[in-house]
A = this chain, B = another copy of it.
Amino acid sequence: MTTAVSTTRILAAEALGTALLLAIVVGSGIMGSRLAGGNDAVALLGNTLSTGAGLVVLIHVFGPLSGAHFNPVVTLAALFARQRRPGLAAAMMAAQFAGAVLGVYAAHLMFGEPVLQVSTKLRGGGAQVFAEAVATFGLIGTILGTQRARPDFTPVAVGLYITSAYWFTASTSFANPAVTLARSLSDTFAGIAPASVPGFLAGQIAGAVVGVVVFEWLLARPGQDLPLDEFRGTDQ
């Protein structure tokens, strides 16, 4: 993270980046389901392509400003790794949640949907919780694993990972509490019923904890930190 960036701009970057991420996830889900004629795999292909490609761009644009977390689980892990001060971490997470909700609303506005919605799409059961744990475990591994040996590849790696995880996890890989809560406010393709949110959050936190423990052990090297930021630019 560039030390010269003011707190205001860090928080603006996290809020705007997370808002655009949610506009992408929810918007492309609506587009896919409207056009796919009932074939959900075709809808998910469009949703996946849009999310993966968009995420790579967002991390490149906002990474030099805030680290491009867009995800409270990543910010929490950075807090425990002493890469963020507690006050800044808390503010970043607030910005992520606020941005996520605004992004969902922006998607609704673009597609002529009612702005305020609550999802009715149940995603319950232990298998879904386990899938979210795997999804978040893999996301943490992607960030930590690439940050050490090839940090300039991390933004692309995160985009490719989510592209993959939309399909290989039964939950389509939310892997992000801010994304999860915000998606409960959209009764569209990408939505999740509020009743299913707590299980998803539990899976995400469990997966993140196991991920940090496993990958810190695997990748450890004396005297070298493993940053959780998703970007390390050439001018930093």
Q: A residues near B, CB below 8 A?
A: 4, 9, 12-13, 16, 20, 23-25, 27-28, 30-32, 35-54, 56-57, 60-65, 106-107, 109-112, 125, 127, 130-131, 134, 138, 141-142, 145-146, 148-150, 152-153, 157, 160-161, 163-171, 214, 217-219, 221, 231, 233-236
Q: Which residues of B contact A43 (CB under 8 A)?
A: 41
Evaluate contact between A61 and B146: CB separation under 8 angstroms: yes
Copies of this chain, count: 4
Query: CB distance A110 to B170 under 8 Å?
Result: yes
**Do residues B130 and A160 form an inter-chain contact, with CB atoms below 8 A?**
no
Which chain B positions have C-beta within 8 A of A221? Answer: 4
A218 CB, min distance to chain B CBs, angstroms: 6
Closest to A38 in B: B37
Given A27-B169, A131-B110, A218-B65, the answer on whether A160 and B53 have CB atoms closer than 8 Å is yes
- Flag if B149 contacts A47 (CB, 8 Å): no
Taking the closest CB of chain B, its distance from the CB of A200, in whole angstroms, is 13
Tell me the dominant secondary structure on chain A's binding face: helix
In the bound complex, CA of A131 to CA of B112 (Å): 10
Whether B41 lies near A168 (C-beta < 8 A) is: no
Chain B residues lying within 8 Å of A170, measured Cβ to Cβ, are 27, 30-31, 110-112
Of B28, B38, B56, B141, which contacts A168 at CB under 8 A? Answer: B28
- What residues of B have a CB within 8 angstroms of the CB of A109 in the complex? 127, 130
The answer to whether B130 and A49 touch across the interface, beta carbons within 8 angstroms, is: no
How far apart are the CA atoms of A64 and B151 in the complex, in Å?
13
Answer whether A46 and B45 are a contact pair too, CB < 8 Å, given A62-B145, A150-B60.
Answer: yes
Contacts of A134 in B (CB 8 A): 23, 106, 110
Is the CB–CB distance between A148 and B64 below 8 Å?
yes
Q: Which residues of B contact A53 (CB under 8 A)?
A: 52, 160-161, 163-164
Let me know if B168 and A107 touch, CB within 8 A: yes
